[in-house]
Amino acid sequence: NAGVTQTPKFRILKIGQSMTLQCTQDMNHNYMYWYRQDPGMGLKLIYYSVGAGITDKGEVPNGYNVSRSTTEDFPLRLELAAPSQTSVYFCASTDTRLAGVQETQYFGPGTRLLVL
Amino acid sequence: ELKVEQNPLFLSMQEGKNYTIYCNYSTTSDRLYWYRQDPGKSLESLFVLLSNGAVKQEGRLMASLDTKARLSTLHITAAVHDLSATYFCAVDRRGATNKLIFGTGTLLAVQP
């Protein structure tokens, strides 16, 4: 299993541009998440999904949109990029139908985004 | 609002020494997670603590959870350089919403 994969690894955007961060998991997990991590800080939840077709806002959803058309994919869309969106973005997944240690979230390698 | 605080934020240790990282959270929860992050890398799961009094150990790391005190500790025994990383605790609200609130992290530097 590849686990959670993200593309691209790094991207530079100009202010006002748009882009989609891709996230795919091959573990048949039902829950998926998008986080951002600012320098020297912990992670903050942007959006999450409990299954295909169902998404909900996290702590910091403004400026982002998501969709979940399949179990495997959970893309994050940035519209009208702003310098405040410069961050590292992590996608994660978990299977809430399992018990014990399997309940942890599995993280992708991250996408580093710089908005200039 | 659930808040998660870690201390210290930065810890410089000598190899062979013992130390403890603390994670306090502000509202009731019975699910706590510890993650490790190496510089420029993703997060790796270390421990999942699901009940009051839970204790988990892996190598030189041991984590515990006291839900009544709203406190988790990550104890490091006889530190080695390979343990240098940032350690995060994360808390799920009571009721298992599976939405984690992360602490700001503890940067651990183990010096030879």
Q: Which fold has domain A4-115?
A: Immunoglobulin-like (2.60.40)
The distance of A55 to chain B (nearest Cα, Å) reads: 13
pLDDT on residue A101: 55
Tell the burial category of B2 from Cβ atoms under 10 Å away from its Cβ (0-12, 13-18, 19+). Answer: middle
Domain coordinates of chain A in residue numbers?
4-115
CA pair distance B109, A50, nearest whole angstrom: 37
Domains of chain B, start order:
4-111 (2.60.40.10)
Q: What is the pLDDT of residues A22-51, one digit of tens each?
A: 999 999 999 999 999 998 888 999 999 999
The distance of A31 to chain B (nearest Cα, Å) reads: 8
The structure tokens 């399997």 sit at A102
Per-residue pLDDT of chain B (112 residues; tens, 9 = 90+): 788 999 999 999 999 999 999 999 998 777 899 999 999 899 999 999 988 888 999 999 999 999 999 999 999 999 999 999 999 999 987 555 678 899 999 999 999 8
Residues of A in contact with B99 (CB under 8 A): 33, 45, 48, 58
Residue A102: pLDDT over 70: no
Contact A41 B50 (CB under 8 A): no
pLDDT on residue A34: 97
Q: What is the pLDDT of residues A51-87, one digit of tens each?
A: 999 999 998 999 999 999 999 999 999 999 999 999 9
SS3 content of chain B, % helix, strand, coil (to 5): 5, 55, 40
Selected residue of B42, B49, B51 to mutate for chain A interface (largest A Cβ count, 10 A): B42
Residues of A in contact with B105 (CB under 8 A): 40-42
CA A25 remoteness from chain centre: 11
CA pair distance A53, A66, nearest whole angstrom: 10
Residue B76 is inside which H or E element, if any? strand B71-76
CA pair distance B45, A17, nearest whole angstrom: 34
